[in-house]
Amino acid sequence: MARHGKKYRNVREQIDTKKRFNLDEAIDAALKAHYANFDESVDVAIVLGVDPRKADQNVRGSVVLPNGTGKTQRVLVIAKGEKVKEAEEAGADFVGGEELVEKIQGGWLDFDRVVATPDMMSMVGRIGKILGPRGMMPNAKTGTVTFDVARVVKEIKAGKVDFRVDKAGVVHAPIGRVSFGAEKIRENFSALAETILRIKPASSKGAYIKGLAISTTMGPGIKIEPAEVKAAAA
């Protein structure tokens, strides 16, 4: 079993692990629990009442956080023709076609997000086994397979976050940095909450939001009342 350091144990002891906090209390507690000497990410984990093994309950989507993520995303666009110039003008860091695919096959991975036009997906499929496990494979459901590359590149640069329920039925997503402060973190959470609720599968029965927790990169998880998701979205 992994052992935590003294700083972690100190902040952990100050939190009632059995209590489910309201959203504002949890955000404040998470920010106060920050102890690392860098600007930690603030993340949420939402346990959904879905069965990810069923295709119609494999929840996935994307949301543009109003305050961004605090991280500059390096965007790679695989396109051809006029879409190359469109992507460059929108701020894409790398734009190209087969030469980029070959470069990735050679081990190059100095980018964070990948966007591709539909007519290039047969080529992108050659690097699916490289991008897929890293969560970077372009997908129409998250808007990263599109001819509207300018809009998508700008959204990613502005703070667009893709999410997908894992095998345990949990969605993990970043909602900012410690330096954002409570208000911006709450605004970002509200945007994520609204999206999660809006894409609820019709076949999902019973409680949709079963659990919720917030934490910083190095800090402990702090439980939140599941009802706070609906309240924040409203």
Domain boundary among 142, 158, 174: 158
**Among residues of the chain, what percentage have pLDDT more than 70?**
97
**Domain identity same for 92 and 35:** no
What mean pLDDT comes out for the span 37-45? 93
- Look at residue 182 and tell me if it is in a domain: yes
Indicate the residue among 158, 189, 209 that finishes a domain. 158
Strand arrangement, sheet containing 41-48: 170-177, 41-48, 209-216, 222-223
Q: What's the order of all strands across the beta sheet hosting 94-96?
A: 94-96, 75-78, 113-116
**Same domain, yes or no: 51 and 91:** no
| DSSP-assigned states of every residue in 189-208 | HHHHHHHHHHT--TT--S-S
- Say yes or no: 222 and 118 in one domain: no
Q: Are both 95 and 20 inside the same structural domain?
A: no
Is the alpha carbon torsion for 157, 160, 164, 169 positive or negative?
positive
Q: Which residues span the domain enclosing 141? A: 75-158
Both 151 and 173 in one domain: the answer is no
Q: Do 85 and 134 reside in the same domain of the chain?
A: yes
Shared-domain flag, residues 167 and 153: no
pLDDT at 141: 83
Per the structure, the count of domains in the chain is: 2
pLDDT value of residue 120:
97
Please report which helix (H) or strand (E) contains residue 98, including its range: helix 98-105
For the ranges 14-23, 73-82, 101-110, 136-145, the lowest mean pLDDT is seen at 14-23
Q: Kindly report, residue by residue over 124-180, the tens digit of the pLDDT.
A: 999 999 999 998 999 988 889 999 999 999 999 988 998 999 999 999 999 999 999
CA 2 to each of CA 5, 33, 34, 225: distance values in angstroms, whole numbers, following the listed order: 10, 20, 20, 28
Q: Determine the Cα–Cα distance for residues 197 and 69; give it in Å rounded to an integer.
A: 21
